[in-house]
């Protein structure tokens, strides 16, 4: 299957980066290379791009799409290792970093990847197929309490206990093997009235399993500060999220980087010594246009937040 993925908020990302033609940029979630293609078009001279993705299919697709550009380096890795990747391929800091989080259209539409609850496939859901652990291991191996916590916290699913109970009861008879089998169990666990008020009943639980398996929130939470530290002055970090858990992490990390002071508010000056790393450009997240949502319904939940390194303003230090 051809790698097909529409780049979300393409114009907004390019505008938000404020691209310097001679700058160096990192696409931490390369995907099909849509964002990277537009960045590379705007670079010249010493300008360069480093693209990172852990998905082999994405690496192949992006390499083909970007083959006309010489000033690029493509690395198969997880963006959690962005510091090592950048320092191993570039001298110094960079002028911009982008992340487009979530699952690509290719991953959703390729049944054997196991991300979709609408198509029968083995329970996989690995972003990086070099990993041994799959969704099947979670569904059949986690205890009741672990399942409840995962589905409740990562899926924000109010019927987490019911769903976990159905999973545990079903696997006592035989292991749960396929996406459609799991989706049917989830549907049974949610009351009919609630099913009629929401989208597909399995959506939130599948999201929870995917996040748990790929450690998505931990990687995001642990890497934002590293990415900010990799930026040159006036460099920008642009992150697109697709659900509230991701967005909350980005919002909190950006605020902390802008105002890291832990002194009591009553103190007239800062004495903790923690310095701001820059400013949050987006006080409110940027969302897709109505037209983009119509053209690409999967973009509806997207939010873009932008942080700029180095332009510090802290009134209590002045």
Give the percent of the chain with pLDDT over 90: 81
Nearest to 9 by CA among 292, 252, 228, 248: 292
pLDDT of the residue at 318: 33
pTM of the model: 0.91
Rg of the Cα atoms in the chain: 21
Q: Are 135 and 210 in contact (CB under 8 A)?
A: yes
The pLDDT of residue 47 is above 60: yes
pLDDT of the residue at 316: 35
Mean pLDDT of 289-309: 93
pLDDT, the chain, mean: 92
The pLDDT of residue 34 is above 90: yes
Bigger pLDDT: 2 vs 263: 263
Q: What is 111-214's CATH number?
A: 1.10.150.170
pLDDT class of 194 with cuts at 50, 70, 90: confident
pLDDT class of 251 with cuts at 50, 70, 90: very high
pLDDT in tens, 64-117: 999 999 999 999 999 999 999 999 999 899 999 999 997 887 888 888 999 999
* Token pair 């696997």 in the structure block, residue: 171
pLDDT in tens, 176-185: 999 999 999 9
> Computed from CA positions of residues 77, 82, 84, 90, in that sequence, does the dihedral angle turn out positive or negative?
positive
Q: Which CATH architecture has domain 10-105+216-317?
A: 3-Layer(aba) Sandwich (3.40)
Domain definitions of the chain by residue range: 10-105+216-317, 111-214
pLDDT of the residue at 258: 94
pLDDT class of 153 with cuts at 50, 70, 90: very high
Nearest to 157 by CA among 239, 221, 243, 241: 243
pLDDT of the residue at 317: 38
Mark out the alpha helices in 190-289 (DSSP H runs): 192-197, 203-214, 216-229, 244-258
Mean pLDDT of 114-128: 94
């Amino acid at each position: 299957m051809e790698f097909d993925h529409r780049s979300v908020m393409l114009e907004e990302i390019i505008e938000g980066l404020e691209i310097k033609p001679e700058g160096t940029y990192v696409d931490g979630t390369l995907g099909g290379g849509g964002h990277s293609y537009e960045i590379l078009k705007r670079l010249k001279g010493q300008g360069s791009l480093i693209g990172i993705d852990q998905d082999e299919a994405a690496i192949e697709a992006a390499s083909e799409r970007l083959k006309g550009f010489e000033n690029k380096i493509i690395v198969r890795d997880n963006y959690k290792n962005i510091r090592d990747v950048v320092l191993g391929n570039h001298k110094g800091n960079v002028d911009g970093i982008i992340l487009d989080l979530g699952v690509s259209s290719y991953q959703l539409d390729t049944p054997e990847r196991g991300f979709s609850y609408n198509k029968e496939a083995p329970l996989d859901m690995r972003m990086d197929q070099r990993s041994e652990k799959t969704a099947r291991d979670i569904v059949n191996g986690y205890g009741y309490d672990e399942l409840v916590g995962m589905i409740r916290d990562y899926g924000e699913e109010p019927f987490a206990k019911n769903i976990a109970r159905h999973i545990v009861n079903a696997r006592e008879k035989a292991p749960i093997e396929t996406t459609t089998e799991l989706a049917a169990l989830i549907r049974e666990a949610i009351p009919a009235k609630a099913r009629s008020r929401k989208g597909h009943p399995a959506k939130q639980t599948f999201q929870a399993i995917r996040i748990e398996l790929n450690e998505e929130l931990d990687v995001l939470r642990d890497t934002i500060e590293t990415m900010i530290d990799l930026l040159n002055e006036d460099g920008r970090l642009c992150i697109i999220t697709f659900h509230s858990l991701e967005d909350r992490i980005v919002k909190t990390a950006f605020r902390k980087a802008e105002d890291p002071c832990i002194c009591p508010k009553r103190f007239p000056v800062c004495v903790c010594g923690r310095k701001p790393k820059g400013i949050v450009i987006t006080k409110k997240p940027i969302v897709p246009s109505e037209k983009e949502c119509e053209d690409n319904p999967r973009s509806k939940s997207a939010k873009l937040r932008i942080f700029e390194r180095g332009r510090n303003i802290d009134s209590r230090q002045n």
